[in-house]
Amino acid sequence: MAPERKFFVGGNWKMNGNKKEIDGIIAFLTTGPLDPNTDLVCGVPSCYLEYCRQKLPATIGVAAQNCYKVLKGAFTGEISPAMIKDVGVEWVILGHSERRNVFGESDALIAEKVSHALSEGLNVIPCIGEKLEERESGKTEEVVFSQLKAIVEKIPLDKWENVVIAYEPVWAIGTGKTASPQQAQEVHGKLRQWLSENVNAEVAQKVRIIYGGSVTAENCRELAKEADIDGSLVGGASLKPDFIHIVNANQ
């Protein structure tokens, strides 16, 4: 990781937790100790956003795991960035592979969501990543560049400081398979090069690109050593006390 980019760890709880379990997570996060030179954000189920924001230390960010592309309206089951902000939450995860592949969200829809969330003042973690068959057929770059292009076209230049990109190879999420540090670095490096060529060199150098896909306390430090890996987006492992080791992987 380059010194000008602050290490970033996101804990995506997905559809997990109840108040009792969340209290346990809050307890081990509050006890820490957490690296003060790392930004930590927890992605929380929507019904617990306000509860977590009130209970977690102010130094730990809270993220919604999804939101819609407009301010309000007849969109049953959706929440808006304005609602997220209204309960004191400052982040949202958008375009996670489960949103893309389980719920059928398109690149275009995700880009619209990113655009609206940024315009409403949220910080955004947009996610990109290829499926196993896409990697095996040599289409990794084609897929992730296409996903990134849709998002980038909707990000104003003055909003890039509010964006953290997550690269999550779909074949490594929750499977126990992890891209090797070298595989992950190769894609991260190419993403940064693409940003330099298609946005500008300053954005490419400053934006944080984090890795997701079966990150554990055992492999997090090797990933963190790579030049273009600026942290991690962690799923199931963020529910367990060992998550502290992942947060502190850059120490």
Contact of 78 with 109, CB cutoff 8 Å: no
Mark whether 186 is an active-site residue: no
Q: What phi and psi values does residue 205 have, to the nearest 5 degrees? A: -80, -35
CA dist 42 and 52 (Å) reads 9
Mark whether 116 is an active-site residue: no
Given 105, 112, 130, 168, the catalytic residue: 168
Q: What phi and psi values does residue 131 have, to the nearest 5 degrees? A: -85, 170
In which element (H, E) is residue 233 found?
strand 231-234
Strand pairing class (60-64; 91-94): parallel
Given 21, 96, 112, 130, the catalytic residue: 96
What one-character DSSP code corresponds to residue 157? G
Which residues are within 8 A (CB) of 139 and not within 5 positions of it... i.e. 6 or more apart? 130
User: Which residues are annotated as catalytic?
Assistant: 96, 168
